[in-house]
Structures are given as structure tokens and as C-alpha cells.
């Protein structure tokens, strides 16, 4: 009897999640909808979520883009969302992936393995990082619901109460005025930890895009110059140089925007890592023009 109840509750929650407009679930549900006809996918952390406006990308490229950025996403989430798009969007031609120096630790990704459970039967492509007891129980079809936290339950309720709409473009800019100076405690000189699992997923993603003839554009979003992590993360350049080597190996385009003109002006920034709406417009125009001038022309040739 308890197993039947648990299974019923899990079924209802999963049904709600597959219709939910909330954050992670809103993004993945949009990507799964074949009626959205995505040509350009924007993926990465909040540094793409708040920094690149799909409407500007569309106006310059004359294609249909979607911003699938998610706060604090690591390479794990990027891989899972991009592979989902490759499986469900036949019109996809370009992927713009924001590269953060601290994204190569998939085990700390906030989007837990359990968040993908409602989509497993259809996709069977997701990368998981939890190989412990919870994953074992899930594979045995026991107690799926125990892996769902309050965020997931809220998303499920929203999905059950309101039908999912795919009209949004996924862009959430910072519209608040003023520049927030970072806490000095966050600017301590240190070495960024990463692991080979993160690099492995990036290589796997690059190879997947190449095999499917999807043009991959790697971008490094601007930091406010005075507070750039390049100034205090000791192995910042080493990490990104390796990414650049991989881009060459797998024929991906690589654009570092950390030294463009606007990085010296706090008037374009919400904080040291994120642009405000004014900065997002300027940055989006530059990315769109580079995509059209270099990546699209290259694919045509």
C-alpha cells in the first residue's frame, strides 16, 4: 500500500513538472516542445540568463533563439539542456555556450539528478552525478518522491494549476539601477578547484555538436574590469586556455569578451559579474554580430 501511494504521488508531481513554467522546468519544457522551432540556443549560467537578449539576437540574425540560461548552472546542466535541444529541435543550427572558469565541477550543480526524473523515459540522455543510494533507489523504482525538495514541489503545483505557455524567450535581465560593489571577502587570491569530469563533459558536448553539424560558439561574458576574477583566481588563465585548446580541436568558435570597451564602465553593470539591461543590450548586439559575421559565414562556407 505505501508503495502504491508513493507511486501515485510521484506520478502526479511528475505530471505537474512536465507542464510547469517555473525556472528549470520552464526551460526544459520549452526545449522539449517541438512547436517552438529553435534555431539558436543560448546556454550557461546567470551570465547568459541575464546578459543576452534573444530578441536582439533574432533581429540581427533573422533566426529564432531561446535563452536557456540558469542560475549557477555548471557544465552538467549545460550538457543536459543542450543535448535535450539537439534531440527535440530539428531546426537547431547554433549553440552559444557561456564559459565560466568555475563551471567545471558538475558535482556541485544545484540542478539535482532528481530534477530530470520526469523526463527520463523520453530522453535517456542525461548525465547524472549522484551514484549513491538515492540513485539506486530511483533505478529500482522506489520512493522517487523522497528526492523532491520544496522547489520541485512548488514547480509541480504551478504546473498542475497553470498550463505551460511557450511564449517566453527565457531572458531575465537585471533592470535595477546602480552598481553593487562585491564584498572584499570574495576577492581573495585563490586557486579554482575543478575536476576532469567537468572537462570530460565539455569535450563530450563539443564532439556531440560536431557530429550533428551544430555550430558551437563559446563566449566568455564581460566582468567589470576592476573586479574581474582574472585578477585574483590564480589559475583563471590556465582553465580558459585549455578551453580554447579544446575549441580549436573540436572546431568550436571562441570569443572572449572580458576586454571589450564596456567593462571599464560600471554604468553597464548590475554587479561585477552581471550586466544591467543597458549592458545586456550592448553585449547582445556584439554577440549577435559576431555570430552572424564569423560563425554563420563559416558554416555557409
* pLDDT attached to residue 260: 98
β-pair partners for 98: 219
Q: What is the pLDDT of residues 35-82, one digit of tens each?
A: 999 999 999 999 999 999 999 999 999 999 999 999 999 999 999 999
* pLDDT attached to residue 166: 57
What are the residues whose beta carbons fall under 8 Å from the beta carbon of 88, sequence distance 6 or more?
31, 32, 33, 34
The overall average pLDDT reported for the chain is 90
pLDDT mean over 144-151: 70
pLDDT mean over 196-221: 97
* Predicted TM-score of the model (pTM): 0.93
* pLDDT attached to residue 164: 59
* pLDDT attached to residue 195: 86
Q: Which residue has the higher pLDDT, 4 or 201?
A: 201
pLDDT mean over 186-203: 92
Rounded to whole angstroms, the Cα distance separating 72 from 95 reads 19
Q: Name the percent of the chain lying above pLDDT 90.
A: 73
pLDDT band at residue 95 using 50, 70 and 90 as cut-offs: very high
pLDDT mean over 210-214: 96
Task: Inform me whether the pLDDT recorded for 177 exceeds 90.
Answer: no
The residues spanned by each domain of the chain are 2-300
CATH class assigned to 2-300: alpha beta
* pLDDT attached to residue 33: 93
In Å, what is the CA distance from 69 to each residue of 72, 236, 246, 299? Answer: 9, 22, 22, 24
The edge-to-edge listing of strands for the beta sheet with 94-98 is 65-67, 40-43, 94-98, 215-220, 253-256
End-to-end CA distance of the chain: 63
Q: Which residue has the higher pLDDT, 134 or 202?
A: 202
Task: Inform me whether the pLDDT recorded for 144 exceeds 60.
Answer: no
Q: What is the pLDDT of residues 236-281, one digit of tens each?
A: 999 999 999 999 999 999 999 999 999 999 999 999 999 999 999 9
Q: Which residue has the higher pLDDT, 141 or 106?
A: 106
**DSSP state for residue 50 in the 8-state scheme:** T
Category of 180 on φ-ψ map: left (φ > 0), alpha (ψ -120 to 50) or beta: beta
* pLDDT attached to residue 138: 60
Q: Name the percent of the chain lying above pLDDT 70.
A: 89
Task: Inform me whether the pLDDT recorded for 1 exceeds 60.
Answer: no
pLDDT mean over 202-224: 97
Amino acid at each position: 500500500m505505501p508503495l502504491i501511494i508513493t507511486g501515485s504521488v510521484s506520478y502526479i508531481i511528475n505530471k505537474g513538472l512536465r507542464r510547469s513554467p517555473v525556472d528549470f522546468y520552464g526551460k526544459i519544457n520549452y526545449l522539449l516542445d517541438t512547436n517552438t522551432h529553435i534555431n539558436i540556443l543560448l546556454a550557461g549560467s546567470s551570465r547568459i540568463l541575464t546578459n543576452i537578449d534573444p530578441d536582439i539576437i533574432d533581429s540581427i540574425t533573422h533566426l529564432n533563439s531561446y535563452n536557456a540560461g540558469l542560475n549557477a548552472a555548471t557544465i552538467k546542466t549545460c550538457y543536459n539542456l543542450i543535448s535535450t535541444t539537439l534531440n527535440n529541435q530539428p531546426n537547431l543550427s547554433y549553440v552559444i555556450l557561456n564559459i565560466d572558469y568555475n563551471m567545471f565541477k558538475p558535482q556541485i550543480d544545484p540542478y539535482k539528478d532528481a530534477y530530470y526524473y520526469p523526463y527520463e523515459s523520453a530522453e535517456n540522455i542525461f548525465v547524472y552525478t549522484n551514484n549513491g543510494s538515492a540513485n539506486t533507489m530511483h533505478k529500482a523504482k522506489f520512493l522517487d518522491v523522497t528526492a523532491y525538495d520544496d522547489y520541485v514541489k512548488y514547480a509541480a503545483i504551478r504546473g498542475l494549476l497553470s498550463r505551460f505557455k511557450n511564449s517566453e524567450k527565457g531572458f531575465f535581465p537585471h533592470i535595477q539601477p546602480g552598481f553593487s560593489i562585491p564584498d572584499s571577502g570574495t576577492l581573495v587570491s585563490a586557486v579554482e578547484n575543478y575536476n576532469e569530469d567537468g572537462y570530460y563533459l565539455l569535450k563530450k558536448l563539443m564532439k556531440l555538436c560536431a557530429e550533428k553539424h551544430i555550430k558551437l560558439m563559446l563566449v566568455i561574458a564581460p566582468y567589470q574590469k576592476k573586479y574581474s576574477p582574472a585578477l585574483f583566481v590564480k589559475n583563471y588563465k590556465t582553465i580558459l586556455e585549455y578551453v580554447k585548446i579544446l575549441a580549436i580541436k573540436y572546431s568550436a568558435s571562441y570569443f572572449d569578451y572580458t576586454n571589450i570597451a564596456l567593462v571599464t564602465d560600471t554604468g553597464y553593470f548590475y554587479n561585477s559579474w552581471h550586466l544591467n539591461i543597458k549592458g545586456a543590450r550592448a553585449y547582445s548586439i556584439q554577440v549577435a554580430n559576431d555570430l552572424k559575421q564569423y560563425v554563420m559565414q563559416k558554416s555557409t562556407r
